[in-house]
Amino acid sequence: MSYFDAASASPLHPVARQALLASLDEGWADPARLYREGRRARMLLDAAREAAAEAVGCRPDELSFTASGTQAVHAGIAGALGGRRRVGRHLIVSAIEHSSVLHSAEIHEKEGGSVTQVAVDRMGKAAPSDYAEALREDTALACLQSANHEVGTEQPVAEVAAVCRKAGVPLLVDAAQSLGWGRVDGDWSLLTGSAHKWGGPSGVGLLVVRKGVRFAPQGPSDERESGRAAGFENLPAIVAAAASLRAVRAEAAQEAARLRELTDRIRARVPELVPDVEVVGDPVRRLPGVVTFSCLYVDGETLLHELDRSGFSVSSGSSCTSSTLTPSHVLRAMGVLSEGNVRVSLPPGTAREDVERFLEVLPETVVSVREKLGAPTPTTAVREDALIVDALIVDALGKRCPIPVIELAKVIGDVPVGGTVRVLSDDEAARLDIPAWCEMRGQEYAGEEPAERGTAYLVRRVS
């Protein structure tokens, strides 16, 4: 079995396993106590904090351990907003932040605060100029991830941090995806991370608050972790997290170069092997092991199940794989195809042979899924027996992705050049996938209209 979902959770690093087992015997006592066992636990905790701080590039007393990366994000945003409440209650986030950031923004808005969501381009990158434009006199905090968790695009953190610093606004960076590969550049103010993303154990996050940043922890707290993470520390897991972060950093440069070569291979070969595929995300400024692509006329959930049957564990941002039946907010913000979406995120140590086998299996798997759905052939042409009319209506109400797009592709050849197809759909994914199909197939997307049920999407044939 080839595990290609390291962006969700990376396999436990051998150093993490060793440190975890060793510290179970030494780190069980309360590090706040003054007796021998407590002092021994305190020494382990202090050493782990120093190691993590060195890896992050901060002072040890600026770093707190939390119960997860999500908790670190929630505590960081709430504390920064609380500390700057006198300045105002305006929060800035990018449209592709991790759900932990967006959920915090939702709560902030419900409690009377205001939120500006900065758009991204088709590569998934936010512009520093857009952050500068979003800043206001009452802006209390801005947030920007270091790299995107779904498509791998790296963000211009240093440039955005400079813009925020000039305006006197702290910047919180969610560095969960990138911290294992290196420090985050720029004059940021707060930073969060999650150990299971870099090969540490789950249940350990870290929150860094630079000296001089106004910060007021919200909710019940105690004396532990500077009052920023209440509760007894999971010391063995913390020790393992810090040890694994140091270990992966020592291997990062060499492994990053190797994984980039493998993902470049996937980015180049997938469009050659599989017709009607869109590779998404920045081709250069991206995480070493992440590559994401979307396949037309494919049910994402079925594709993932079939790849799993073939021995590959991958992830997806397709609406077909979620209980909400809506495309991932990341793909939606980028305006790219969501159906048949596959995210390959290679863990350190991935063998080239596994990648080559994936490239062998993928084409036949996509063909199989497309055949089951009755998808059209890769080329669209006017059928000789077709009755040509100027306009057609495709009723795809009640049908989920990718059926509306499949039905559109089947009939586009039945209208002359200049003719239109009106697709009726109540699937949220159609708003993203029909325009994406038009761009990929050289047709004109003419917009949408309200319909008695759902929405009518207008497509004009131009070729």
DSSP string for residues in 32-69: T--SHHHHHHHHHHHHHHHHHHHHHTS-GGGEEEES-H
Do strands 312-313 and 171-174 pair parallel, antiparallel, or not at all (unpaired)? unpaired
Q: Is 170 helix (H, G, I), strand (E, B) or coil?
A: coil
What DSSP designation does 377 have? P
- Alpha-carbon gap, residue 453 to 359, rounded angstroms: 41
- Residue 143 is among the residues annotated as catalytic for this protein: no
Catalytic residue among 58, 143, 320, 438: 320
Decide: residue 377, CB within 10 A, 0-12 exposed, 13-18 middle, 19+ buried: exposed
In order, the DSSP letters of 266-309 are HHHHHHHHSSSEEEES-SSSB-TTEEEEEETT--HHHHHHHHHH
From the CA atom positions of the chain, what is the Rg in Å? Answer: 24
Check whether the bond before 363 is cis (ω within 30° of 0).
Answer: no
For residue 462, CA distances in Å to 155, 380, 439, 459 come to 36, 12, 11, 9
Encoded amino acid at 437, one letter: W
| Exposure on the CB side of residue 393, measured as CA atoms within 13 A | 7
Torsion on CA atoms 99, 104, 109, 115, rounded to nearest 10: -70
Closest to 289 in 3D by CA, of 2, 54, 14, 57: 2
User: Reduced to 3 states, what is the DSSP secondary structure of residue 8?
Assistant: coil
Cβ atoms of residues 71 and 225 within 8 Å: no
Q: Is the dihedral of CA 378, 380, 383, 386 positive or negative?
A: positive
What positions carry a catalytic annotation?
Answer: 320
